[in-house]
Chain A
């Protein structure tokens, strides 16, 4: 079973988004051990879209779809009316800096790489639509440095 919902471009949507992901896991019988990593990746990607997606119409919603794959789920976030930005190519944070040099921020993408099995980005110029898709399964090992990118920008 696949499900998709649309969410307003606000941090206030997070509670509703987490209800959607946990509800899907329950309805589809997905192993709940995968949920924290899925929620993490969804939150980071969604809040990036809210913060940086320069949409002409702020009423445009972000669509989140979940579908089953062997041993887990594949999640797709779609943002319309935006310029291309391939978040999968963003650099890692330097997590070895001493605390005096650490600054809040920049960890979200760094952590997604390590929590999901794979991810990719596509952009449709025709629809001005960014699509980020990731996969998380029980069999997946931490994917540090192995993110795949389909490009398409």
Chain B
């Protein structure tokens, strides 16, 4: 399952698994964010290519209006996925500590 909610100081917290079945809910939430947004991925266990599409669509929209989406707390597996996808070139990524 997936949960996505507004946290403190402009941070959006996403937890669980962002698979193809959960993407509509995540996209619906992220379609409403504005400006520069940090997505706390510390509790995000899994992402599929459908989930990558959600992040890419959001990044393109935010960049067009002068904002951006930052990815924080990214675990090792997600780092590999982002690197193989070239997302490390189009997102600011902060690994999990």
Hey, which bits of chain A sit against chain B, CB under 8 A? 11-12, 14-15, 18, 36-37, 39-40, 43-44, 47, 93, 95-100, 102, 104-108, 110-111, 114-115, 142, 144
A107:B20 contact, CB within 8 angstroms? no
Q: Which residues from B are CB-within-8-Å of A97?
A: 86
- State A11–B2 Cα separation when bound (angstroms): 15
- On whether the beta carbons of B84 and A40 are closer than 8 Å, the reply is no
Contact assessment for A111 and B56 in the assembled complex, using a CB-CB cutoff below 8 Å: no
17 example contacts (A-B, Cβ-Cβ < 8 A) are as follows A11-B20, A14-B19, A15-B21, A36-B77, A39-B46, A40-B46, A40-B48, A95-B86, A95-B89, A96-B89, A97-B86, A102-B86, A104-B52, A104-B53, A104-B56, A107-B53, A111-B81
Q: Is the interface of B mostly helix, strand, loop or mixed?
A: helix
**In the bound complex, how far is the Cα of B49 from the Cα of A44, in angstroms?**
7
Q: Are B77 and A110 in contact (CB under 8 A)?
A: no
Rounded to whole angstroms, the CA-CA distance of A15 and B9 in the bound complex is: 32
Asked if B6 is an interface residue, CB under 8 A from chain A, the answer is no
Q: Report A-chain residues with C-beta under 8 Å of the C-beta of B80.
A: 114-115
Given contacts A39-B46, A99-B60, A110-B84, A12 and B21 within 8 Å (CB-CB): yes
- Pair A107/B77 contact, Cβ less than 8 Å: no
> Which single member of B21, B53, B77, B85 contacts A95 (CB below 8 Å)?
B85
